[in-house]
């Protein structure tokens, strides 16, 4: 299915050869408009670079200061000892045009413009912008933004953003978003759960570099396994298609949240980035052809990319479920059905194995409700036995396990056991912890992240992860069949 659709589109010739290492892996960074005030956005950038472990040269640029954060401050980018590979422009829109011109003349390779817009001197904005971009291209300078929140690449300590966070977490998931607010949500939501990122970029209004350029970069990045994308509109459809095709070819799972289901949302997208959002149905049909997993909401971007990065792909869409609440079991049944996933009936031999473990034979159904059947001393060993029995059943492709209020010791024991059983059975296990004691939360999410075990907090989150795994596995099987 995927191969047929993509072969009709033609070769991947619309992707430019762009060296974005200057943006994500620079050897030197100039912070233009840097401030000594940690309460200002422009004062958060250099401390962020230091905290992230950036090992290259940092050049603060501010004509009114001699020193910032212990670093010598320079009057302008043209007065630096060397052309920095990356410049972060923390200046107002009225100064952005002049500052960009200085960066281009100085030989800067990449610029991040955080201002909402670049103000030009004449009313003919399009002509001035075209001239600026032509000059930038001639000098080999690429521009991220404006109206963006910058870029991160944590293995190199690149922190080209004004965001502040005490403990950035490095991982193997990358995010590309056309919205700064969404970019913030994704980053902080991931890190609150100790899920690391390889890279992250807020593309903004995309006067030069586009969302598709960043997707291509992370597809080729060896540290990235899955890519989450918030898409308002693809400025060049062919380029987006080629980037998606490349992602599928390189087995980098691509999860996209496309806005614009309503006319009002499409209008809002245009007013934000200036790009035409396009018909939502056209995009969703295209996603199926290109092997893109479609997210329905912001939380899906986190839950789905985590599952696709960490869990093995299932053989099908059949889910075994264990719950310790009848109401939660009903929620799972509804959610799985709505997402096109199946709750198969266990085979007789599986029910017999479960009956040997559980005190009530009538409980051996799917979902399997173990409410009040086991205590804290035996719950981990019982879950291991029934989990193995269900996963060994050939009609179950993956397992979701919901557990409520247990002690920290028991919950950590569950995490270790689920990881072990998933690896032994080579099938995904998606644990759902619906009532984590506040004192246990940090240790639980940290250990799960260390083991790369995707854990969730609601039935809907786990089912979204299961759908992503099933859907992407279907895409891959269809491609191999062709």
Check residue 334 and give its pLDDT.
Answer: 96
Alpha helices in 12-140 (DSSP H): 21-24, 45-52, 93-106, 125-139
CA 74 to chain centre: 36
Beta bridge partners of 294: 256
pLDDT interval class at 444 (50, 70, 90): very high
Strand extents, DSSP E, 264-367? 293-294, 319-323
By the 8 A CB rule, do 246 and 12 touch?
yes
- Residues 393-442 have pLDDT tens digits of 999 999 999 999 999 999 999 999 999 999 999 999 999 999 999 999 99
- Residues 260-280 have pLDDT tens digits of 866 665 555 555 454 545 576
- Residues 38-49 have pLDDT tens digits of 999 999 999 999
**Reduced to 3 states, what is the DSSP secondary structure of residue 246?**
helix
How far, CA to CA in Å, does 413 sit from each of 295, 399, 418, 435?
A: 31, 17, 9, 16
Q: For 340, left (φ over 0), alpha (ψ -120 to 50), or beta?
A: left
Check residue 356 and give its pLDDT.
Answer: 87
Write the DSSP symbol of residue 84: -
pTM, two decimals, is 0.93
Q: Measuring CA to CA, which residue among 472, 475, 202, 479 is closest to residue 310?
A: 472
- Region 52-73 average pLDDT: 96
> Distance (Å, rounded) from C-alpha 196 to C-alpha 275?
31
- Residues 208-249 have pLDDT tens digits of 999 999 999 999 999 999 999 999 999 999 999 999 999 999
């Amino acid at each position: 299915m995927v191969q047929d659709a993509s072969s009709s589109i033609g070769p991947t010739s619309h992707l430019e050869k762009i060296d974005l290492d200057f943006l994500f892996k620079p050897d030197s960074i100039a912070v233009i408009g840097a401030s000594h005030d940690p309460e200002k956005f422009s004062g958060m950038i250099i401390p962020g670079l230091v905290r992230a472990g950036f090992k290259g040269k940092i050049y603060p640029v501010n004509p009114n200061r001699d020193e910032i954060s212990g670093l010598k401050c320079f009057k302008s980018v043209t007065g630096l000892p060397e052309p920095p590979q990356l410049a972060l422009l923390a200046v107002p829109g009225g100064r952005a045009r002049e500052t960009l011109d200085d960066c281009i003349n100085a030989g800067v390779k990449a610029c991040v413009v955080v201002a909402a817009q670049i103000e030009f001197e004449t009313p003919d904005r399009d002509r001035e912008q075209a001239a600026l971009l032509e000059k930038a291209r001639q000098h080999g300078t690429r521009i991220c933004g404006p109206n963006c929140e910058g870029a991160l690449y944590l293995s190199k300590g690149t922190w080209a953003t004004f965001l502040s966070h005490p403990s950035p977490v490095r991982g193997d998931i990358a995010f590309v978003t056309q919205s700064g607010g969404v970019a913030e949500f994704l980053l902080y939501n991931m890190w609150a759960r100790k899920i690391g990122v390889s890279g992250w970029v807020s593309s903004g209004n995309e006067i030069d570099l586009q969302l598709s350029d960043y997707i291509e970069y992370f597809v080729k990045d060896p540290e990235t396994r899955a890519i989450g994308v918030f898409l308002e509109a693809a400025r060049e459809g062919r380029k987006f298609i080629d980037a998606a095709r490349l992602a599928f070819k390189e087995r980098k799972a691509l999860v996209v949240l496309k806005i614009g289901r309503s006319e009002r949302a499409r209008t809002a997208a245009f007013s934000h980035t200036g790009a035409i959002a396009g018909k939502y149905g056209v995009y969703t049909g295209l996603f199926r052809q290109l092997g893109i997993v479609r997210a329905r909401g912001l939380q899906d971007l986190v839950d789905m990319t985590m599952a696709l990065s960490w869990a093995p792909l299932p053989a099908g869409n059949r889910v075994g479920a264990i719950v310790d609440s009848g109401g939660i079991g009903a929620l799972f049944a509804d959610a799985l059905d709505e997402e096109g996933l199946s709750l198969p009936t266990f085979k007789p031999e599986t029910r017999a194995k479960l009956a040997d473990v559980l005190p009530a034979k009538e409980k051996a159904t799917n979902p399997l409700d173990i409410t009040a059947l086991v205590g804290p001393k035996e719950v981990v060993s019982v879950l291991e036995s029934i989990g193995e029995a269900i996963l060994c059943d050939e009609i179950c492709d993956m397992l979701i396990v919901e557990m409520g209020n247990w002690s920290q010791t028991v919950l950590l024991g569950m995490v270790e056991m689920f990881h072990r059983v998933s690896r032994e059975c080579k099938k995904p296990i998606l644990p759902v912890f619906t009532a984590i004691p506040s004192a246990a939360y940090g240790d639980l999410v940290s250990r799960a992240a260390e083991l790369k075990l995707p854990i969730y907090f609601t039935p809907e989150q786990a089912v979204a992860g299961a759908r992503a795994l099933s859907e992407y596995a279907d895409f891959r099987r269809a491609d191999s069949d062709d």
